[in-house]
Amino acid sequence: MPPHIYSVAQTILARIEAEFLARKDLSSPARINDNFPHTVRDRVSTASMSTIKFPTQAVCLLGRSGSGKSVNAEYLIEYLLTPQSTQSSKSSPQYTNESNLTARKMRAVMCLLDAFTCSRTLLNSNASRCLRLFTIDFTMEREISSPRITASGLYVDILLLDKFRVTRRPQGEPTFHVFYYFLAGLEEDVRREYMLEDLIAPNLFMTPLQRVRLRA
């Protein structure tokens, strides 16, 4: 039985934190002469901490279509961003959430990705038709007394997008969701301008709209 996705996320954070704690003594305040002024000690400690390099961890989700790769990837990223989301709500003057990276914003990004890269197939109603590569950057809080790592950036790379689905739609399968969202939101005059009044008739590029509320 494969491990739970949250246990995988815990392992990732544990490895990164262990590597950081192993190198934390490089910037320990005890190594700095107490004769220096307080401001100088803080600057030296901060500069030393900024030179620490974190290890790289990677997770590759494999499985057939409809096995839950995209959903588990979302759970994994949300778990890794949860400490950042919790700390951003604190009003402590010592903490500054520069990246403003939260799990809620991550879910909004996922909705956009699903709209432009997902489609209904014979095996999955929301199948990803591309390879998604997510990169999360972790940085250190600039607090010498209780240093910790937090997520500071989230990057997404789209690879191997199924572009032929737009011009050579597979038989019996629709195109990407975003086109149906676009047609469902058009006003009547705009539909008439682009000759899209008859959204029920089949064509080579899109399947007919199935829901009554989308046809109106």
The residue type of 150 is T
Q: How many residues does the chain have?
A: 216
- 53 known ligand binder: no
Q: Which helix (H) or strand (E) holds 138?
A: strand 131-140
- Select from 132, 142, 118, 130 the least CA-distant residue to 50: 142
Q: How many CB atoms lie within 10 A of CB 175?
A: 19
Amino acid, single-letter form, for residue 123 = L
Tell me whether residue 69 is annotated as binding.
yes
Q: Annotated binding residue at 148?
A: no
Residue 186 is encoded by which pair of tokens? 């058009």
Give φ, ψ of 205 to 5 degrees. Answer: -105, -30
Q: How many CB atoms lie within 10 A of CB 119?
A: 23
Confirm whether residue 67 is marked as ligand binding: yes
Q: Which residues contact 115 (CB under 8 A, 6 or more apart)?
A: 176, 177, 178, 181
Q: Distance (Å, rounded) from C-alpha 180 to C-alpha 200?
A: 12
Instruction: Give me the helix-helix angle, 103-117 and 177-184, nearest 10°.
Output: 90
63 marked among binding-site residues: yes
Q: State yes or no: 185 annotated in a binding site.
A: no
Instruction: Give the residue numbers of the binding site for ATP.
Output: 63-70
Instruction: Give the residue numbers of the binding site.
Output: 63-70
